[in-house]
Structures are given as structure tokens and as C-alpha cells.
Amino acid sequence: MQSFRLLGLSLACAFLTACEEKAEVAPQPQQVRVVAAATTQYQPGAEITGEVKARIQTELSFRVSGRVIERWIDVGSRVRAGQVLARLNDTEQQADVSVARAALDSARAVAKQKTLAFARAKSLVQSQAIAKQVFDMAQKELLSAQAALDAAEAALATAEDSLSYTELRADADGIITARGIEVGQVVSAAQSAFTLAHDGQRDAVFDVFEAFFLNGRPSADVRVAPLAGRGNELHANVREVSPVIDIRGGTIRIKVGLQDDGGWPLGTTVVGKIQSSPRQGIVLPFNAMASDKGGTAVWLVNTEHHTATLRRISVDRYRKSDFVVADGIAPNDLVVTEGGKFLREGQAVAWKGK
């Protein structure tokens, strides 16, 4: 019986000893990989689709109103400077020209008659055959007839101009990109009839969201490529930035001058890689991102206590493979990039650099 008691005491002591040894064994630090936060320069960028357009594009319109009776070109037609594109009914203008020519003939006849009368009066007044008042009257009538002749010539020129305005001509070589009239339609003066894209230099036109300009104008250099052939890329410069915002889409129009259009026809859809001005920030890879009660955070390593701390941060910009931290960490902080999923606040860690 005493032997059994001694055996029980021995087992109890052994069990207590094992428990004490187990309690004294500390947990192994969690292995993590870290990167030292550093301020670097970066350029926010965007890829935006646009369209190739002529640098000079004009709206062609008649200078008089009337009914369209002829139209010789359509959208896509190539035209030459001075080529007639369409014509209005010119019956009224032809009549005005006829009246003006008749008035000019009458004025010329009157002027010729008054010229002869003045010459005769001049010779008679020199021989004192007529009174000075008769000569003065002849001179006055001649001046009046010459003024009427000048007015008739001007009226004929105006009527002929109005007649020429019934024909709409191209003001330069180019391609018709839009049409706003049809045969039989009654148009008013200055109503857009055709849009003419002039031959010559081309622009790649992009509508960029307003938010891209919050930190200033974009970089002047833009890489442009056709959507169907991204390998055929050109470097071009921003030529013009619109000073106003399109309130319908909240965009700002950018025109990029193409020194070499690459053989891209008008209307080609292109992709532009646009970058904003260089900025400073702390850039971290996406695998460093954690969550703190729904907010964005990162795990930091406390080098003094060898523990992990969860730190809430604010993000300035998300990019394809990383993100830019706006606030929450400082340069030289050790940020956990691997192993953060297994951490808890204050947990002991052992780390390796990336």
C-alpha cells in the first residue's frame, strides 16, 4: 500500500514538473518580410482613348439664305480649294444683278450726257456766251451724275457678290467630315452646311477627367498609339489644354500635336498615355495592405520591442501594382509585406528585408 502511495506521488511530481517546463517555453516569433518605407518620386498616369482630328477644321456655310437645289459632295469626299460644293436657287439674285446692270447703264448714259453738257458750258462761259450760273449748274449736274454712276457700280458689285454667295465653295484642300444640308432644304445664312478638315498637321484629341488636373497640368510628353495597333506608338507633345471644363462630362479637352501622323486617317481611335507632374510620396506594394475595422492599414515592426503594430493609413492613389501613402507612416518605418495575415497586435516578430 505504501508502495502505491509513493508511486502516485512520483507521478504527480513528474506531471507538475512537465507543466512548469511547458509554461516556461516562450512562443516562437512570427517570421515576416519587411520593406523600409522611403519617399520616392512618382508620376500618376492614365491611359485615355481619343480621336485623330485635323488641326484646322472649319464650318462652311452659305452667306445668304435660300433653297438648296444642288449638292455635289458628301461626308468623306476629298475637295480642293475653290471647288463648288452646293448651290442655292439664285433666281432672286439673278434678277437683282439684271436690275443693277440696267441701273448702271442708265447712270453711264446720264454721266456721258452731263459730261458733254459740262464741256459745252465750259467753252461758252469762256466766250461769255452764257452766264456763270449756267456753267455752275452744269458742273453740279455732272458731279451728281458721276456720284450716281459710282453708286450704280457699287450696287452691281454687291448684287454680283450676292449671286456668288449662292454657290458654296471649299476654302482649302481637305476632307468633308460632316454634312448638315440636303437638296430641297431651305437654309439660313451662316447655317452650317459642311465641316471641312483641312489637309496638313493632325492632332490627337482627348477628353481627360477634371480630377487628373487637381495637381497641375499634365506632363508635356504623351505616348500615342492606335487602339488597333498598340505597338505603333509615337511620342508627341501637348499642344493645347482647354481653359474650360465640359460640364456635361466633367472633362477637359487636350490636343496633342502629331508631328508624324503615322498614316492614321481622320477619326482613328487612339490611346494616349498621359502623366501628371512628378510628385513625392511613399510607394508600397499591394501585399503590404491590411485592414483595420474596414479602414486601410499596414503592419509596422517595432524594432525596439520586436513586435508588430497595426497602423491606419490614408491612401493618395491606387495604381496597377502598388499604392501611394498620403499619411500614417514615415520614412524608414519597417512595413510588413509578407506574413501580415498571421499577425495580431503586439505579437513578437522576426523579420527579413525584402
Query: What CATH number is attached to the domain comprising 123?
Result: 1.10.287
In a domain, 233, yes or no: yes
In this predicted structure, what is the pLDDT of residue 354? Answer: 61
How many residues are given for the chain?
354
Of 275, 299, 332, the domain-final residue = 275
In this predicted structure, what is the pLDDT of residue 233? Answer: 83
Q: Which domain holds residue 107?
A: 90-165
Distance of alpha carbon 155 from alpha carbon 105, whole angstroms: 12
Stretches in the chain below the pLDDT threshold 70: 1-26, 215, 260-262, 354
From 167, 245, 243, select the one nearest 211 (Cα to Cα): 245
CB 335 within 8 A of CB 38: no
Q: What is the largest CA-CA distance in the chain?
A: 184
Q: Are residues 83 and 172 in the same domain?
A: yes
C-alpha cell at 185: 432644304
In this predicted structure, what is the pLDDT of residue 11? Answer: 52
CB 254 within 8 A of CB 218: yes
Q: Are residues 248 and 219 in the same domain?
A: yes
Domain containing residue 193: CATH number: 2.40.50.100
CB 161 within 8 A of CB 100: no
Dihedral-angle region of residue 298 (phi above 0 means left; psi in -120 to 50 means alpha; beta otherwise): beta
Beta bridge partners of 325: 282, 315
Sign of the torsion formed by the C-alpha atoms of 284, 286, 289 and 291: positive
pLDDT tens digits along 105-123: 999 999 999 999 888 888 8
pTM passes above 0.95: no
In a domain, 334, yes or no: yes
When divided into structural domains, the chain yields a total of 4
In a domain, 16, yes or no: no
In a domain, 84, yes or no: yes
